[in-house]
């Protein structure tokens, strides 16, 4: 693994995530179309959309912070991606995951959104601020079950580094954390759907209510950055959940397979449930998933 290959491996890291992420979003739109009994767009539609947005000739900006907003969002998302190992063999596609741990990744996930919120702030559109407020309030609800789940994980495996968790899950299906701490997995699934923007929780960017929330004032090239970071963010969360609960992936094929299975669960939730209000989302997340998580925690403490 010469340094040349390592550099290529590092540079290719976000682009792989971008391509697979965009592919998944395209497949999602097609499957939801089929659920509505219509043809739905081609699978590569999202890639075409992003390419068209990159090739837009004009874009308006309200100031330096507005210009930096989407850039910080992509930076935050890609940095978070680098701290999550895509493959578990420790040589290829491991990014910088040996230098960071689970708590660092949890906080990096929110860094991009906060940077974006500053850009939205200078944009000056009241819809943008409403979207950001909804997003942050929803985050209070989503963060609790997720954090309970990773506490149970850390307590169970007595480590906070993702690579070590993957190693401890090696050896067959029964060793996966999904079956070792099933209740924690279920609790974390709720916040997983929330963070992926599955329908009951896609509150910040609701087009009907707040004119696509934070993305209201961003057009052209800025929107391209936001769509690609949303694609990377989707794939990022999928690989994190695969690493934590489904034993990581030895090679790219297994990774795509496992992430797709997880992604299909998102589709089921998105196409069935209608959108929550913000307080319903927080109330829901503090009630059922948190209780499931606490039960898992008590079991863990007793063990």
Candidates 45, 199, 265, 271: give the one binding another protein (CB under 8 A): 45
Candidates 19, 31, 33, 182: give the one binding another protein (CB under 8 A): 33
CA-to-CA distance for 88 and 109, rounded, in angstroms? 21
CA-to-CA distance for 242 and 232, rounded, in angstroms? 15
Chain residues 196-215 in contact with another protein, contact rule CB under 8 A: 207, 211-212, 215
Check residue 124 for interaction with another protein (CB under 8 A).
Answer: yes
Check residue 90 for interaction with another protein (CB under 8 A).
Answer: no
**Rounded least distance, CB 103 to another protein, Å:** 6
Give the C-alpha distances (Å, rounded to integers) separating 71 from 100, 125, 228. 23, 19, 11
Chain residues 177-196 in contact with another protein, contact rule CB under 8 A: none
Check residue 236 for interaction with another protein (CB under 8 A).
Answer: no
Candidates 1, 2, 4, 158: give the one binding another protein (CB under 8 A): 158
Check if the beta carbon of residue 240 is closer than 8 Å to that of residue 196: no
CA-wise closest residue to 265 among 31, 62, 101: 31
Candidates 23, 78, 166, 195: give the one binding another protein (CB under 8 A): 78
Candidates 1, 3, 58, 303: give the one binding another protein (CB under 8 A): 58
Which CB atom, from 158 or from 174, has the smaller least distance to another protein?
158
Candidates 16, 22, 139, 184: give the one binding another protein (CB under 8 A): 139
Check if the beta carbon of residue 267 is closer than 8 Å to that of residue 40: no
CA-to-CA distance for 239 and 236, rounded, in angstroms? 5
Joined together, the tokens standing for residue 25 give 């979003």
**Rounded least distance, CB 75 to another protein, Å:** 5
Check residue 303 for interaction with another protein (CB under 8 A).
Answer: no
Candidates 19, 43, 59, 254: give the one binding another protein (CB under 8 A): 59
CA-to-CA distance for 145 and 187, rounded, in angstroms? 6
Check if the beta carbon of residue 138 is closer than 8 Å to that of residue 281: yes
């Amino acid at each position: 693994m010469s340094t040349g290959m390592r550099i290529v491996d590092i540079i290719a890291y976000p682009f792989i995530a971008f391509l697979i992420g965009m592919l998944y979003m395209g497949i999602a739109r097609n499957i939801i179309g089929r659920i509505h009994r219509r043809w739905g767009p081609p699978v590569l539609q999202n890639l075409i959309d992003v390419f068209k947005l990159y090739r837009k000739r004009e874009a308006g900006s309200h100031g330096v912070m507005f210009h930096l907003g989407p850039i910080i969002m992509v930076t935050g998302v890609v940095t978070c991606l680098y701290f999550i190992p895509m493959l578990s063999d420790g040589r290829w596609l491991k990014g910088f995951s040996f230098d960071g741990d689970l708590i660092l990744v949890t906080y990096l996930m929110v860094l991009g959104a906060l940077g974006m919120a500053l850009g939205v702030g200078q944009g000056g559109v009241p819809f943008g601020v409403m979207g950001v407020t909804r997003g942050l309030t929803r985050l209070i609800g989503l963060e609790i079950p997720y954090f309970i789940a990773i506490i149970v994980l850390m307590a169970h495996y007595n480590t906070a580094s993702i690579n070590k968790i993957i190693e401890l899950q090696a050896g067959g299906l029964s060793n996966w954390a999904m079956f070792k701490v099933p209740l924690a997995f279920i609790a974390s699934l709720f916040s997983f759907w929330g963070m992926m923007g599955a329908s009951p929780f896609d509150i910040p960017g609701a087009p009907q209510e707040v004119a696509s929330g934070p993305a209201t004032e961003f057009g052209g090239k800025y929107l391209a950055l936001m769509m690609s970071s949303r694609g990377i963010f989707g794939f990022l969360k999928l690989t994190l959940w695969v690493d934590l609960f489904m034993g990581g992936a030895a090679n790219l094929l297994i990774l795509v397979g496992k992430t797709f299975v997880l992604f299909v669960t998102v589709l089921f939730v998105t196409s069935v449930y209608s959108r929550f209000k913000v307080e319903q989302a927080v109330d829901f997340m503090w009630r059922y998933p948190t209780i499931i998580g606490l039960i898992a925690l008590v079991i863990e403490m007793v063990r």
